[in-house]
Amino acid sequence: METKALPLSMQLCFALYSANHAMAGLYRPMLSELGLTYPQYLVLLALWERDGQSVGELGKALMLESNTLTPLLKRMEAASLINRARSQQDERSVSVSLTDKGQSLEAKSHEFAACVANALDQDGDTANALREQIFDLAKRLRKA
């Protein structure tokens, strides 16, 4: 009974790890010019979609908890990208909103998307289908 190892090339986990790294590597130089990190960019994406979310809502959108988000958001506040304010209705909750600077970066996100599309070097429908498959994969993994 051989217990031959499954090579990296057969591991879905490594495919995801590798692709996620490669994507981060593609974004890094572009984001770096804006003084942004990759997770900070994801926070901006979430806020461009809906401004004024609480830390908990952001966490739900990005699958992160306050132990990760709080320091990250503080750095973004220090960089004048967002404001953080306790909610009046519920003093436990902190509302995160975009500054003018944070809003102004939204235009760049389209350049980035175009750059990714270019890197993919395949037609849009194929890329969209793959994206949906990956989201679906994430959903299945989370459910398990």
Partner DNA sequence: CAAGATTAAATCGTGCACGATATTTATGAT
Partner DNA sequence: ATCATAAATATCGTGCACGATTTAATCTTG
If one asks whether residue 64 binds DNA (CB under 7 A), the answer comes out as yes
Amino acid letter for position 125: D
Q: Contact at 8 Å (CB) between 77 and 83?
A: yes
Residue with tokens 């959903």: 139
Q: Which residues contact 90 (CB under 8 A, 6 or more apart)?
A: none
x/- track of binding to a copy of itself for residues 105-144 (CB under 8 A) = -xx-xx--x-xx-xxxxx----x--xx-xxx-xxxxxxxx
90 touching DNA, by CB under 7 A: yes
Q: Return the residue of 26, 34, 37, 103 that touches DNA, per CB under 7 A.
A: 37
Q: In what order do the strands lie in the sheet with 94-98?
A: 53-54, 94-98, 82-86
Residues forming contacts to a copy of itself in the complex (CB under 8 A) are 3, 5-27, 38, 42, 45-46, 48-49, 61-63, 106-107, 109-110, 113, 115-116, 118-122, 127, 130-131, 133-135, 137-144
